[in-house]
Structure 1
Amino acid sequence: MAKSSSNPLITGSGLWQQSPERVLFENHSFGLNAGDRIGLVGHNGCGKSTFLNILAGRNEPSEGSISVSRAAVVSCVEQHLPKQLMELTLAEAVRDALPKDKRDWMDWKVDVMLPEMGFEPHQSAVLCKDLSGGQMTRLMLARALMTEPNLLLLDEPSNHLDLPTIMWLESFLKSWKGSFLMISHDATLLDSVTNRTWILQDRKLHAFDLPCTKALAEHEVLTQARIARRDSEEKEIKRVEASAKRLADWGRTYDNEDLSRKAKSMEKMVDRMKDDQTDAVEAYPWNLSIAGEQIQADRLVQLKDLNVTPPVADVFLYNVDDIAVRPGDRIAVMGANGTGKSSLLRCCWEKRTSEAGDVRVHPRCRIAFYDQTLQQLPGEANLVEGMVSVGEALGVDLRVPDCEKTIIAAGFKYNQLSQKISQLSGGERARLLLVSLSQVQANLMMLDEPTNHLDLYGRNELSNQLQSFNGSFLLVSHDRHLVEATCNRFWVVQNGRLQEVNDADAAYALIAEVQVKAVKADAASQSVVDTTVGESAPEPDHSGEDELLERLIELETLMEADLARRPNRQSPHLQVQWKDEITQIHERLELNG
């Protein structure tokens, strides 16, 4: 990986930023050089996005200055595509990123950029609103690259992406020749593509010429040294204060002006010592303890002939033939978005008490379910009521005083106990739900993307707790660091089936292989979309039997690829057309009997 040079693209001097509630950062001075590939990390709310927007020129600092080199061509990768572009075609949205006075004569750049981002030529006419999440990420990168930047600013580009798209983004950033600064909570991605790390903590910017994990480890060593130094200074201050007080008392008691002068001199020394004292380290507002129990049993859950369907539609996704979850299992459920990973967990949860026999739960097995939508927490309830309600749903009676202690121990403030859950941030609600589930002493936890709302520190805390969890768990996650650190079994959902592989690397290889095939199928599907824009697709004329069979296979492939997408990314109108045509072909080939 290229080392940073001494050519500054952006320099900052004495940056301060004040939010309405507090100071976000103070006295930042730095240089972002050509060749730098920087990961910017810090807990949620510390000011990372504000800092990036100042670098991008979108915001002005409260104090200080930013200087951008003439050699710097800076471009920002959007977090979300602007709403006004959603009705445009893919090509039009990319062209929109060019300056208005250059769009006509630089139109050729669109045709060059789209293939570089992995798009097929015919996909240029697809509407942005019909793109998948992964395609949307590639579109936003394409827009950022149209001005040929040498510095990219990326604000959480991997947020809510599935694993195949994260792997594509990682490959892109590895091969890109320019510099970048990227905010991310994905330690594996940062370790793979960065050569420097900036940590925003305690209103200061701490810079390391190391990738994320090594930088965090070194920063922790320095933080512990700061804590020890401050503790030592506190003890010395208290000692001098006690001596000054003692001398002052003696001076008054014995009417001794010399002792009184010495006392006042020592008091001034205490003031100087406090002024020079090492800054305090702000505690990270995230404490978590997930308790669980392991029971002696041959198996906790047996899945046999289970038809997995999504909760909002009566659509068959795949069948689980026969597989078991045993005590000690820490299972990662992996795959692209829309394949049915979350649906598997929800089917297991909803059928845990069913007598159908496709989900058989050990009679002594207590299951806790973390729903990524966080809807288990009633929005109008306060924090304590919310925890009690989660316990009631799992058949556990939680006492209010115990809940209050647990919530405060998890890093919430006392005055938040009466706050409505709807007023909490996504990260706070995720923390409250995890803490609530930990109180039921589950034998099996089912966790559906628990890191969606967590920052890097929260993810590390969750990872540490899952490593020491006494029970078993099923984990749906695209966080490779979490999966590799906590799991010992790996299930991959793809192509309408669930397949177990030996390790995480085998899962990644299988997902990457499937993704290549999915892209081809998606391209074929989108080509059909193109024919339906503005008018109905023409009735196909397949007269020969071989042609009809070939068309039937093609239609079934298109249907399978579209159903594998998330529900909001599917094309129901096309599915109806494909079903009608499949029925017609069946009738013509007399396959209905």
Structure 2
Amino acid sequence: MPEPTSLLNLERVSKSYGVRPLLTDVSLGVGAGERIGIVGRNGDGKTTLLRLMTGAEEPDAGRISRERGLLLGALAQHDDFDDTHTVREVVLQGMADHEWAADYRLREIVEVLLAGVELDRAVHGLSGGERRRCALAGLLLGDHDLIILDEPTNHLDVEAVAWLAGHLAGRSSALVVVTHDRWFLDAVCEQTWEVHDGAVDTYEGGYAAFVLAKAERQRQAAASESRRQNLVRKELAWLRRGAPARTSKPKFRIDAANALIEDVPPPRDRLELQRFATQRLGKDVLDVEDVDFQRGDKVLLEHATWRLGPGDRVGLVGVNGAGKTSVLSLLAGEAVPSAGRVKRGRTVALEHLTQAVEVDDPEARVLETVESIRRVTKTLDGEVSASALLERFGFTGDRLTARIGDLSGGERRRFQLLRLLLTEPNVLLLDEPTNDLDIETLNVLEDFLDGWPGTLVVVSHDRYFLERVTDSVWALLGDGRISMLPRGVDEYLERRRHAEMGVPGARNGTSETSTPELLPEKSQLGAEEVPSRGKARAGSAEERTAKKALARLDKQLARLSEREAELTAALSEHASDPEKLAQVAAELGSLQEEKEAAELEWLEAAEVLE
């Protein structure tokens, strides 16, 4: 397979801020059509790497080369719009309405990303989310050889994120993206770069493949960071034990993953958590009974009934403006229904994490503030000290004594979560908790919630986090009710598509159950949201040939793996016989080449069926 044309190369690049090196002697390249996701902790240099690639910053040492005539488009975390201009001017940039409206691809971008935003509206009156959508739409309307995106899913709802993933997967442009949205990384990216400690490690595949490869590297190196290793292995166990929307993986890769996690228990013991939660909460937690609720002229709930019991872990989805944040306010007692009531159990100790990042005293110190709340907090696994919890959430060294006012946005969000968890609530309402958090911190938060015994309600556009920490998904579909979705986010996206196409009954969810008879038996996300490349038509000769090839290759790979294990054992047996050792090593090398060729053939056949 020919190497893709090189679009951009970094050669021995280094970059520091003050005395802190972010990148040291880094060499990387981006080829035509490649789709690369970048992960790493906040502050480790992800955005700096993007700015070097776009030319917004220059390296301290090394060289960055770009293909002559390269068309490069970039989305930064903050736009540079002229506030005196209109949305039409900053997004369409002089393009006449008939030009973009006549092109289906361009029209879809405008209709999806600018839904509800008037084109002749002034930029200065837009919300942060609307400005973000405008910047993204303006970029995607152009033709580029390479697109570089910094946190593109911020301010997008689950539906818009799914659309963006499908759109980017269908473009021929190369893509480099920094995002903490792990579902998006899996759906879009074919390579993953991890930025850490001044270096950039490269992995084939999206987030799931990255977790597997990283766990394998750590196992082989016998890493001393036992807690970090356990988190990665726990994350891997979640990925392999049925996480929704995972791309298909070759059997020989699945076998390797199973070998790694065969002794890893499920992420959490649901029965034990519910038992503990019932002891703390009793039978009654939160009951929404025949409630009418509206914001301004918009009716959000009408005769809605919803019951939350001890240990329930619930995700709430809906388009922007559907009322998810308002429903959380209703549950928290911060808003009052116009009819009906919200009944709260007598033992409920509720905490509500809002989207606002609040700082009560900028001069206060991190550790002192946390210990003034509680020095030790209880989880299902036992007691955890405040300092240990701070360490788990990334506050170590001088960050323990830092002023709260000096913390970055991500650090403030982490600190806000910590303060809330230390109050030992038994009901948690989390509104977009993943905002400003890197993937490593999300892993830690998920791990903590795995042992947290209480009732959890989460609103999040981060589909991976939502599916990872909750056991059921409910939706606000615009019919005044809160509808349960047995098949989760996949079902939500299907219902939304049916509603837009005018399928009868698509919005007629009930407050207790969904209407599966209206929905296809199998999720169409893989086929519609993220178009695959080279997919064979169902029932075609090409599909039958590919299936036969896969069956044959599965047997061949099983046979080769078995022989490989025998030869590996033989190496030890004949360690004292140089002649026999050389013979076995030669056969093993030949067999491994044959196995690699078979694996490549397997992958090519699998692409036809994806």
Q: Same fold (TM over 0.5)?
A: yes
Deviation at 1:108, TM superposition (A): 5.3
Percent identical: 27
The answer for the alignment partner of 1:295 in structure 2 is 278
The answer for the alignment partner of 1:91 in structure 2 is 88
Task: Return the alpha-carbon distance in structure 2 between the equivalents of residues 53 and 4 of structure 1.
Answer: 29
Instruction: Point out the structure with max Rg over C-alpha.
Output: 1
Contact 2:190 2:206 in 1 (8 A): yes
| Range moving further from structure 2, 169-178 or 110-119 | 110-119
Gaps of 5+ in 2: 227-272, 378-383, 503-610
Contact 1:154 1:181 in 2 (8 A): yes
Which among 482, 489, 498 is matched to residue 498 of structure 1?
Answer: 482
Contact 1:4 1:36 in 2 (8 A): no
Secondary structure, counterpart of 2:143 in structure 1: coil
Q: Which amino acid aligns with 1:61?
A: P
Instruction: Classify 1:305/1:132 alpha carbon distance in 2 versus 1 (closer, same or farther; 3 Å).
Output: same
| Range moving further from structure 2, 73-82 or 205-214 | 73-82
Deviation at 1:141, TM superposition (A): 3.7
String of CA shifts for 1:511-552, please: whole Å, max 9, x gaps. Answer: 4445678xxxxxxxxxxxxxxxxxxxxxxxxxxxxxxxxxxx
The answer for the alignment partner of 2:75 in structure 1 is 77
Instruction: Classify 1:78/1:466 alpha carbon distance in 2 versus 1 (closer, same or farther; 3 Å).
Output: same
| Range moving further from structure 2, 51-60 or 413-422 | 413-422
Report the TM-score when normalising by structure 2: 0.64
Task: Return the alpha-carbon distance in structure 2 between the equivalents of residues 4 and 141 of structure 1.
Answer: 32
Contact 1:376 1:390 in 2 (8 A): no
The answer for the alignment partner of 1:508 in structure 2 is 493
The aligned runs of 1:184-223 (5 Å cut-off) are 184-223=179-218
Deviation at 1:499, TM superposition (A): 2.0
String of CA shifts for 1:335-377, please: whole Å, max 9, x gaps. Answer: 12222111111222126999x9822222123223222213375
Deviation at 1:92, TM superposition (A): 1.9
Instruction: Classify 1:319/1:414 alpha carbon distance in 2 versus 1 (closer, same or farther; 3 Å).
Output: farther
Contact 2:75 2:139 in 1 (8 A): yes
Task: Return the alpha-carbon distance in structure 1 between the equivalents of residues 102 and 449 of structure 2.
Answer: 47
Which among 143, 147, 168 is matched to residue 152 of structure 1?
Answer: 147
Contact 1:467 1:485 in 2 (8 A): no
Task: Return the alpha-carbon distance in structure 2 between the equivalents of residues 349 and 479 of structure 1.
Answer: 22
Aligned length: 439
Deviation at 1:334, TM superposition (A): 0.8
Task: Return the alpha-carbon distance in structure 2 between the equivalents of residues 133 and 513 of structure 1.
Answer: 30
Instruction: Classify 1:104/1:422 alpha carbon distance in 2 versus 1 (closer, same or farther; 3 Å).
Output: closer
String of CA shifts for 1:103-143, please: whole Å, max 9, x gaps. Answer: 79999579757524234999644444566777655543443
Task: Return the alpha-carbon distance in structure 2 between the equivalents of residues 194 and 105 of structure 1.
Answer: 33
The answer for the alignment partner of 2:332 in structure 1 is 349
Deviation at 1:453, TM superposition (A): 1.8
1:358 aligns with 2:355: no
1:322 aligns with 2:287: no
Task: Return the alpha-carbon distance in structure 2 between the equivalents of residues 349 and 123 of structure 1.
Answer: 34
| Range moving further from structure 2, 301-310 or 183-192 | 301-310
Contact 2:81 2:123 in 1 (8 A): no
Task: Return the alpha-carbon distance in structure 2 between the equivalents of residues 139 and 315 of structure 1.
Answer: 25
The answer for the alignment partner of 1:118 in structure 2 is 110
1:173 aligns with 2:157: no
Contact 1:151 1:179 in 2 (8 A): yes
Secondary structure, counterpart of 1:148 in structure 2: coil
Secondary structure, counterpart of 2:405 in structure 1: helix
Secondary structure, counterpart of 2:482 in structure 1: strand
Deviation at 1:383, TM superposition (A): 2.5
Task: Return the alpha-carbon distance in structure 2 between the equivalents of residues 343 and 73 of structure 1.
Answer: 43
Task: Return the alpha-carbon distance in structure 2 between the equivalents of residues 75 and 218 of structure 1.
Answer: 30
Contact 1:488 1:503 in 2 (8 A): no
Deviation at 1:489, TM superposition (A): 2.1
Task: Return the alpha-carbon distance in structure 1 between the equivalents of residues 316 and 148 of structure 2.
Answer: 32
Task: Return the alpha-carbon distance in structure 2 between the equivalents of residues 148 and 353 of structure 1.
Answer: 49
Contact 2:393 2:444 in 1 (8 A): no
Deviation at 1:390, TM superposition (A): 6.0
The aligned runs of 1:129-278 (5 Å cut-off) are 129=124, 136-137=131-132, 139-145=134-140, 148-226=143-221, 228=223
Contact 1:87 1:128 in 2 (8 A): yes
The aligned runs of 1:435-446 (5 Å cut-off) are 435-446=418-429
Task: Return the alpha-carbon distance in structure 2 between the equivalents of residues 440 and 199 of structure 1.
Answer: 34
Secondary structure, counterpart of 1:117 in structure 2: helix
Contact 2:106 2:141 in 1 (8 A): no
Q: Which amino acid aligns with 1:502?
A: P
Secondary structure, counterpart of 2:440 in structure 1: helix
Deviation at 1:478, TM superposition (A): 1.1
Contact 1:490 1:501 in 2 (8 A): yes
String of CA shifts for 1:9-35, please: whole Å, max 9, x gaps. Answer: 111110001111400011111221112
1:463 aligns with 2:463: no
Q: Which amino acid aligns with 1:471?
A: G
Task: Return the alpha-carbon distance in structure 1 between the equivalents of residues 465 and 225 of structure 2.
Answer: 33
Contact 2:100 2:107 in 1 (8 A): no
String of CA shifts for 1:419-464, please: whole Å, max 9, x gaps. Answer: 3322222222222232233333332211111111211122222223
The answer for the alignment partner of 1:484 in structure 2 is 467
Q: Which amino acid aligns with 2:60?
A: S
Contact 2:109 2:140 in 1 (8 A): no
Q: Which amino acid aligns with 1:197?
A: T
Q: Which amino acid aligns with 1:499?
A: S
Instruction: Classify 1:151/1:107 alpha carbon distance in 2 versus 1 (closer, same or farther; 3 Å).
Output: farther
Deviation at 1:388, TM superposition (A): 6.1
Task: Return the alpha-carbon distance in structure 1 between the equivalents of residues 13 and 371 of structure 2.
Answer: 45
The aligned runs of 1:99-114 (5 Å cut-off) are 114=106
Q: Which amino acid aligns with 1:173?
A: L
String of CA shifts for 1:391-446, please: whole Å, max 9, x gaps. Answer: 79x9xxxxxx9545543454323544443322222222222232233333332211
Task: Return the alpha-carbon distance in structure 2 between the equivalents of residues 194 and 168 of structure 1.
Answer: 15
Task: Return the alpha-carbon distance in structure 2 between the equivalents of residues 385 and 314 of structure 1.
Answer: 46
Deviation at 1:72, TM superposition (A): 2.8
The answer for the alignment partner of 2:20 in structure 1 is 22
Instruction: Classify 1:328/1:228 alpha carbon distance in 2 versus 1 (closer, same or farther; 3 Å).
Output: closer
String of CA shifts for 1:159-189, please: whole Å, max 9, x gaps. Answer: 2322222122112112112111111111101
Report the TM-score when normalising by structure 1: 0.65
| Range moving further from structure 2, 416-425 or 448-457 | 416-425
Contact 2:305 2:481 in 1 (8 A): no
Task: Return the alpha-carbon distance in structure 1 between the equivalents of residues 17 and 389 of structure 2.
Answer: 30
The answer for the alignment partner of 1:532 in structure 2 is none
Q: Which amino acid aligns with 1:59?
A: E
Gaps of 5+ in 1: 97-102, 232-290, 395-400, 518-593
1:474 aligns with 2:474: no
Task: Return the alpha-carbon distance in structure 2 between the equivalents of residues 364 and 196 of structure 1.
Answer: 49
The answer for the alignment partner of 1:587 in structure 2 is none
Deviation at 1:94, TM superposition (A): 3.4
| Range moving further from structure 2, 300-309 or 455-464 | 300-309
Secondary structure, counterpart of 1:87 in structure 2: coil
Deviation at 1:201, TM superposition (A): 1.4
